[in-house]
Amino acid sequence: MKDRYCIIGRDVTRSPSPAMMNAAFRHSLIDAEYTQVSVPEARFASEFARLTESGLKGMNVTIPFKTAVIPWLAGLDSVATRIQAVNTVKSEEDSRYIGHNTDPDGILGPLQAVAASLDVRNAMLIGAGGAARAFCEAMNRMGCIDIAVAVRDVERSRRFVLEMEKAFPRMNLTLASMKDLHHLNHDLVFNASPMGAAGEPLPKELKRVLPGSKVVFDAVYRPKETKLLAEAKRNGAKVIHGEAMLLHQGMAAFRLWTGKEAPEKVMRGALTASLKGKTKKPKRGRATR
């Protein structure tokens, strides 16, 4: 019987994750299937229960359930506990479902590849959701000291700042309205919000403070070239597309679920083809060890 995995979110009908993960399973000769499950927030608890009762081996969790899933799990790993966000669930041998978070791997992998020598002391974070929590974990590992958190709704984001400062006491987080940003010579700018996914104009205040940033990383993967990244390129910054984060967090999830090394080239090819609207069936390869 095939092992079953899925991605669950409010609307994952266009997610490229199934193409990427199924390509990895085929290449690694793993008898498994990865599907997508879209569910409204009001039905999340019942749908999650149905999936776990069916013997699902694992799942990826996306907007808006990265925090909402926590009460329904038997436990969390150290990273998910620290940031209180889950993007990957694994079924253990005793049938308990444990929450993990591979998003920090999705951030650190591309960052280290593009700017291995980057010494990040200060950063600007756009957004305060699940991906923003993963960014704080990644920055703590990199030795970042100051993070300016730019949001549209300051009041709703105060809890995020308090929780992240408690989780990472060495870091200072400063909350700022997207309408009133201050140029602090950020080494890195990271967009953890949906900003840019609908092609809306870049906020003028954000556009004003981008010059001087060494690296700009956008978690949005569709469109590939967001207005944020286009503006960053014009200012001479190195840019990282959301596709890279999706790939690296998926590779980490594959390793967690299977105990095998993730076939990066195969996964990258399937992901790129899916985002371009093409179907790409990879060749079956030797089983990884």
Query: SS3 sequence, the chain?
Result: CCEEEEEEECCCCCCCHHHHHHHHHHHCCCCEEEEEEECCHHHHHHHHHHHHHCCCCEEEECCCCCCCCHHHCCEECHHHHHHCCCCEEEECCCCCEEEECCHHHHHHHHHHHHCCCCCCCEEEEECCCHHHHHHHHHHHHHCCCEEEEEECCHHHHHHHHHHHHHHCCCCEEEEEECCCCCCCCCCEEEECCCCCCCCCCCCHHHHHHCCCCCEEEECCCCCCCCHHHHHHHHCCCEEECHHHHHHHHHHHHHHHHHCCCCCHHHHHHHHHHHHCCCCCCCCCCCCCC
Confirm whether 66 is a catalytic residue. Answer: yes
Length in residues, the chain = 289
Which residue do the tokens 């793993």 mark? 30
Which among 66, 207, 233, 283 is annotated as catalytic? 66
Q: Rounded to an integer, what is the distance from CA 86 to the centroid of its chain?
A: 10
**Of residues 178, 173, 98, the one with CA closest to residue 135:** 173
The span from the CA of 270 to the CA of 16, in Å, is: 8
The residues that are catalytic are 66
